[in-house]
Structure 1
Amino acid sequence: MLELYTDRLKLRSLQDSDWEQFYALHSDPEINRYVRVPESQEVIRSKFQQRSDTWFYGSGDWLTLVIETVDTGQFVGLTGLYCQSLDEQRAEVGYLLAAEGHGKGYATESLMAVIDWACLSFNVHKFVGHCAKDNHASARVLEKCGFRLEGLLRQQFKVGENWLDESVFGLLADERRL
């Protein structure tokens, strides 16, 4: 089981007991408004099962870590990374926070911990983050972690009936904030 710590947070591997929080996060329309229309419980359960399995870098699966506060153990959200293959030195990062975790710096703090761990553990050259152009809070998280806006993909994905533009951010491993 993977565990990472920051001053305020514990990041750990997903466990069976996390199902309710995982489901609540993935089924909340407001939390997902810039990501997707919430999927069925069956689809979310399948994602949960896949992300609960043993993970290894380059597996082509997302590493999903639960974010909890160190002092109370309160569930804050999820963070993680994805790398298509061992040959690829590029990793995509992501995070999804519960409403009670918004505005406290938890996304930034947890993402920096994941990036630092990945740099120490794997030969990552570049990290990539995606967010809807209008998701200003998510863009700020990436920028605070040192990511730079590298492009805008017009009408890149749909949420419901709405096409959304996607901002693409990049961070070279040697540019990360220590």
Structure 2
Amino acid sequence: MLELYTDRLKLRSLHESDWEHFYMLHRDPQINQYVRIPESEEVIRAKFQQRSDTWFYGSGEWLTLAIETLDTGMFVGLTGLYCQSMEDQRAEVGYLLAKEAHGKGYATESLQAVIDWACLSFDVHKFVAHCAQDNHASARVLEKCGFKLEGILRQEFKIGEQWFDDCAYGLLSTERQR
């Protein structure tokens, strides 16, 4: 079981007791407005089961970690890492926070911890992340962690009937904030 700590947060492997939080995050239309149309309970349950299983870098699956506050143990969201290419030493990162945790710096703090851990554990050369161009809060998180906007993919994905431009961000391990 993986556990990472920051000044205010504990990031840990998913437990069965995290199902309610995981489900809520994946079903909330406001939280997912720039991510996806909320999926069915069956699809979310399968995703939760896969992400609760033992993970190893290069497995082709996302590592998903629950984010909790150290002082109260309150669940605030999820963060994760995905090995895009072992050969190119490239990993993708992501996060999804509960509404009540927005604007408190938890996404930035947890993402920084995942990046630092991945650099030490897996010799990652480059981190990538994507967010909808209209998702200004997510872009700020990435930029605070040192990511640079590398390009905008016009009308790259569709949620419902609306097309979204996708911002591609990159961070070289040598550029990371310390």
Q: TM-score scaled to structure 1, two decimals?
A: 0.99
Structure 1 match to 2:117: 117
Which one-letter code corresponds to 2:98 in the other structure? A
CA deviation string 1:38-92 (max 9, x = no partner): 0000000000000001000011100000000000000000001101353340000
| 3-state SS of 1:103 partner | coil
Is 1:14 aligned to 2:14, yes or no?
yes
Which one-letter code corresponds to 1:37 in the other structure? I
Q: Distance in 2 between matches of 1:53 and 1:122?
A: 20
Q: Are 1:126 and 1:170, in contact at CA under 8 Å, matched by a contact in 2?
A: yes
Q: Distance in 2 between matches of 1:169 and 1:11?
A: 23
Which one-letter code corresponds to 1:148 in the other structure? K
Q: Distance in 1 between matches of 2:25 and 2:38?
A: 9
Structure 1 match to 2:34: 34
Structure 1 match to 2:44: 44
Structure 1 match to 2:77: 77
Give the CA RMSD over aligned residues: 0.7
Q: Distance in 2 between matches of 1:84 and 1:139?
A: 21
| 3-state SS of 2:84 partner | coil
Q: Are 1:59 and 1:86, in contact at CA under 8 Å, matched by a contact in 2?
A: no
Deviation at 1:123, TM superposition (A): 1.3
Structure 1 match to 2:56: 56
- Number of matched pairs: 178
Q: Distance in 2 between matches of 1:86 and 1:142?
A: 23
Structure 2 match to 1:105: 105
Is 1:168 aligned to 2:162, yes or no?
no
* TM superposition outliers: structure 1 runs of 4+ over 6 Å: none
Percent identity for Structure 1 against Structure 2: 79
Q: Which runs of 5+ in 1 are unaligned?
A: none
Q: Distance in 2 between matches of 1:85 and 1:126?
A: 10
CA deviation string 1:156-175 (max 9, x = no partner): 00111101000000000000
Deviation at 1:143, TM superposition (A): 0.0
Are the structure 2 counterparts of residues 4 and 131 from structure 1 closer, same or farther at C-alpha, using a change threshold of 3 Å? same
Q: Are 2:85 and 2:91, in contact at CA under 8 Å, matched by a contact in 1?
A: no
| 3-state SS of 1:84 partner | strand
Q: Distance in 2 between matches of 1:159 and 1:96?
A: 17
Q: Distance in 1 between matches of 2:102 and 2:85?
A: 32
| 3-state SS of 1:59 partner | coil
Which one-letter code corresponds to 2:2 in the other structure? L
Q: Distance in 1 between matches of 2:70 and 2:95?
A: 18
| 3-state SS of 1:165 partner | strand
